[in-house]
Structure 1
Amino acid sequence: MTVSATLAINQEIARRRAAGHDTIPLGFGEASIPIHPELTRRLGVYAELGGYGPVAGIPALLDAAAGYWSRRGVPTRADQVVAGPGSKPLLYAVLQALGGPVALPRPSWVSYAAQNALLNQESVLIDTLPGQGGVPDPRALEVEAVRRRRAGAPLSCVLVTMPDNPTGTVAAPAVVRELCAVAQRQDLMVISDEIYLDLVHDAATSVLTPSELVPDLTITTTGLSKSLALGGWRIGVARFPDTDRGALLQQAVTTAASEIWSTPAHPVQAVAAWAFTEPVELRDHLAHSRRLHGAVAWAAAEVFRAAGASVPQPAAGFYLYPDFTGSRAQLARLGIRTSGDLAAHLLDKLGIATLPGSAFGDVPERLTLRIATPMLYGPDETRRWQALRAEDPTALPWLAESLATVGKAVSGML
């Protein structure tokens, strides 16, 4: 295995820039909004908390996370929650506790299949329906679940991403309901990665999660890396079902935590405990973030559509997923036959850093890209604050110039 594609592209962008190569960064999914000053102030206050604390997390954080889910229609007690240094290691520990095979949507975030590979567990990729990223086609999932059960190798669980990375879409409630019905019929646990749930662009977008429909079958993870741009602080939480099975899985994850990370950083937990209560200061900050992410993602989608790509409309987060398969003949003249070829051409010839759909489990022959827009917000805090506060961030000179450069370069390929 190699370094995760999302982290590798970030390192490559830094290398190219250090070498003097202009590079437009559309590869790495860092939220890139300024950290709210009250978060940094509180971190300084709590910096003296050097003790380890409980493995599962400090009581204040577990209480706050339980309240966060309860306010979203998923009644939760503090003793159902485990905190970790980011949702990523929590997901790894959950996958380890459940075992495989694991059904994943295709495409899906790069680390799901990679973590299963590290655990010597099988990932079963199941296509999503058009515009329904993050949730495997429920009918195809059931067919596969039945087939494997008859063969004596049943699926253990299905993992969904609500909303989705890499496509930026939100699966419709009807699709989520059907998936949850399949999970009940086929006795599948559901892992629901809801790290982008607070970044839905339009309040009118209907979002229904497995946590609300089948809480006794669902393990839910979230964190503050995307909503509040605290990726470097490393804090996440997981909610376990209030069942005997859920308690056993929670104990397995806590045991793994005790041997791997011991406990999340104590000062960060203390700040996160405040953040998960959703104080008014952070609600306003988050509202501005949603506006910024949505405006730039929508503008970028239009840029790629104008260049000939098919792009599902992004509805949450800061990703889009253009598909150039319809331009296969034109791109073949440039030696582009796979999504890897396409991403390499954009980077090497045009200075645009993206990720190929194949990095997310997509069929290589589909000429898809995962585009992440936040690193366009600005190279420094001053410009990022301007972008966050702007009524129309796409009109800011540096953002408008980057989008225009991308549009001209991509259109020039065809």
Structure 2
Amino acid sequence: MITEQRSKYLSETVKSIKPSGIRRFFDLASSMENVISLGVGEPDFVTPWNVIEASYHSLELGYTAYTANAGLPELRKEISRYMRRRFGVSYRAEDEMIVTVGASQAIDIALRAILNPGEEVIVVEPSFVSYAPTVTLAGGVPVPVHTYSQDEFKLQPEHIESAVTERTKAILLCSPNNPTGTVLSKNDLVKIAEVVEKYDLLVISDEIYAELTYDEPYTSFSSIESMRDRTILISGFSKAFAMTGWRLGFACGPKEILQAMLKIHQYTMMCAPTMAQHAALEALVNGQKDVIKMKESYRQRRSLVTHALEEMGLSCHIPGGAFYVFPSIEKTGLSSEEFAEQLLMQEKVAVVPGSVFGESGEGHVRCSYATSIQKLEEAMRRIDRFLKTL
């Protein structure tokens, strides 16, 4: 059967979605030698040993069966204590929380639980590459709202208002943001909350980088007055606890919404991996010292990279969180795609074109500083050398 004939069996929705732009550059870089990758957003730290050991121990004890659909009761109770202790938000472990296969699955089932066909979700751009496609796959319509470098990529309330229609159901936020590293302050969130309440919207708040903020205490969107019952809070263990491959996240929110999400989770996933849940429990109970050490290392790397980029003449706001910088490359006269391709081919440094994060990302590239100081220093030398050839 030829390709054209086979393609008729594919969903039109799936055919309309482009492959991940991040993965394209990562795959290209992985086929080359001596490449320094500043592309994929993943900690370079190995999961702390006590967390790994907890997983081993759970296997030795024979914990290899399914858990409850919503996750281990003791893990959910610990997540509840953790969220209250660290971020001042309270959720019941019994019915306001689900342990998921990564934060990505949590976002997916949140969207599928709330959207009817054709309803709109405001997606704040530049945004993580999966947001808009996940809205589409849930039957919704992603509506981009742009942020701009002159505002340090902070969302402006009036831009939300201009995008709201009678079909708008929710806003998808990420703070600290991927790819810009921008953190929304409490004052920023209060202004956004006023718009949310005015138009009776829901908010899906991706807070996966909440532990990785450097300049001010983190404010969870659901902690803003009257926003708890309008917020589906998404988080997980991948970034702060260096547990990307364990694929473990969680969602918290109002009982009615979380129980609707649980239905989808039951039928599509059953439960998150049992051994990963035991590891996550150890991370929450005894892992905060490791989080602090990794965070301090990221802070040092942030200083190195932002200073080096400014010295090269690539303007870059200082990101308040996550582990990304988003410098402007407009002065080079290249598109972000051209810049990334030429830099990879000439100097073997992989960065991600800003255009893959939405239209407002054009003119920038994302550089992850979740790699060693030595590699970052060498990458900065190579980028500087590349710029001098233009």
Fold-level match, TM-score > 0.5? yes
Aligned residue identity for 1:311: C
How far the C-alpha of 1:131 sits from its partner, in A, is 6.8
How far the C-alpha of 1:2 sits from its partner, in A, is 4.0
Partner residue in 1 for 2:223: 212
Partner residue in 1 for 2:356: 359
SS at match of 2:32: helix
Q: Distance in 2 between matches of 1:268 and 1:69?
A: 19
| Residue 267 (1) aligns with residue 275 (2) | yes
Partner residue in 2 for 1:228: 241
Match of 1:77 among 73, 92, 96: 92
How far the C-alpha of 1:342 sits from its partner, in A, is 1.7
Q: Distance in 2 between matches of 1:133 and 1:123?
A: 23
Partner residue in 1 for 2:30: 14
Q: Distance in 2 between matches of 1:135 and 1:405?
A: 30
Match of 2:264 among 253, 256, 267: 256
Q: Distance in 1 between matches of 2:351 and 2:261?
A: 34
How far the C-alpha of 1:134 sits from its partner, in A, is 7.2
| Residue 156 (1) aligns with residue 169 (2) | yes
**Counterparts in 2 of 1:66 and 1:303: CA distance versus 1, 3 Å:** same
How far the C-alpha of 1:343 sits from its partner, in A, is 1.5
Cα contact 1:107–1:362 (8 A) shared by 2: yes
Partner residue in 2 for 1:381: none
Cα contact 1:105–1:135 (8 A) shared by 2: no
Number of matched residues?
A: 365
Cα contact 1:108–1:134 (8 A) shared by 2: no
Unaligned runs of 5+ in 1: 242-246, 378-393
Q: Distance in 2 between matches of 1:115 and 1:413?
A: 40
Q: Distance in 2 between matches of 1:184 and 1:38?
A: 44
Partner residue in 1 for 2:7: none
TM-score using structure 1 length: 0.83
Partner residue in 1 for 2:37: 25
Cα contact 2:97–2:251 (8 A) shared by 1: yes
Match of 2:300 among 295, 303, 316: 295
SS at match of 2:31: helix
Cα contact 1:160–1:192 (8 A) shared by 2: yes
Aligned residue identity for 1:407: D
Partner residue in 1 for 2:11: none
Q: Distance in 1 between matches of 2:136 and 2:152?
A: 22
TM-score using structure 2 length: 0.88
Match of 1:405 among 370, 375, 382: 382
Q: Distance in 2 between matches of 1:59 and 1:7?
A: 35
Q: Distance in 2 between matches of 1:348 and 1:398?
A: 18
Partner residue in 1 for 2:54: 42
How far the C-alpha of 1:73 sits from its partner, in A, is 1.1
**Counterparts in 2 of 1:74 and 1:87: CA distance versus 1, 3 Å:** same
Cα contact 1:131–1:171 (8 A) shared by 2: no
Cα contact 1:84–1:264 (8 A) shared by 2: yes
How far the C-alpha of 1:407 sits from its partner, in A, is 2.8
SS at match of 2:277: helix
Cα contact 1:127–1:137 (8 A) shared by 2: no
How far the C-alpha of 1:4 sits from its partner, in A, is 2.3
Partner residue in 1 for 2:327: 322
SS at match of 1:78: coil
Partner residue in 1 for 2:157: 138
How far the C-alpha of 1:401 sits from its partner, in A, is 2.9
How far does the alpha carbon of each residue in 1:369-414 deviate from its partner, in whole angstroms, 9 at most, with x for none?
A: 011121x32xxxxxxxxxxxxxxxx4xx5543333233332x3244
Cα contact 1:133–1:170 (8 A) shared by 2: no
Q: Distance in 2 between matches of 1:261 and 1:132?
A: 40
Cα contact 2:125–2:358 (8 A) shared by 1: yes
Q: Distance in 1 between matches of 2:174 and 2:135?
A: 16
SS at match of 2:229: coil
Q: Distance in 2 between matches of 1:46 and 1:9?
A: 37
Partner residue in 2 for 1:369: 365
Q: Distance in 2 between matches of 1:135 and 1:363?
A: 12
RMSD over aligned Cα, in angstroms?
1.9
Partner residue in 2 for 1:86: 102
Cα contact 1:163–1:196 (8 A) shared by 2: yes
Aligned residue identity for 2:261: V
| Residue 104 (1) aligns with residue 100 (2) | no
SS at match of 2:143: strand
Q: Distance in 2 between matches of 1:412 and 1:3?
A: 33
Aligned residue identity for 1:221: I
Unaligned runs of 5+ in 2: 1-16
Within 5 Å, which residues of 2 pair with 1:167-186?
167-186=180-199
How far the C-alpha of 1:68 sits from its partner, in A, is 1.4
Partner residue in 1 for 2:344: 347
| Residue 57 (1) aligns with residue 71 (2) | yes
**Counterparts in 2 of 1:313 and 1:265: CA distance versus 1, 3 Å:** same
Cα contact 1:323–1:368 (8 A) shared by 2: yes
SS at match of 1:290: helix
| Residue 122 (1) aligns with residue 119 (2) | no
How far the C-alpha of 1:16 sits from its partner, in A, is 1.6
Q: Distance in 2 between matches of 1:399 and 1:122?
A: 39
Cα contact 1:134–1:171 (8 A) shared by 2: no
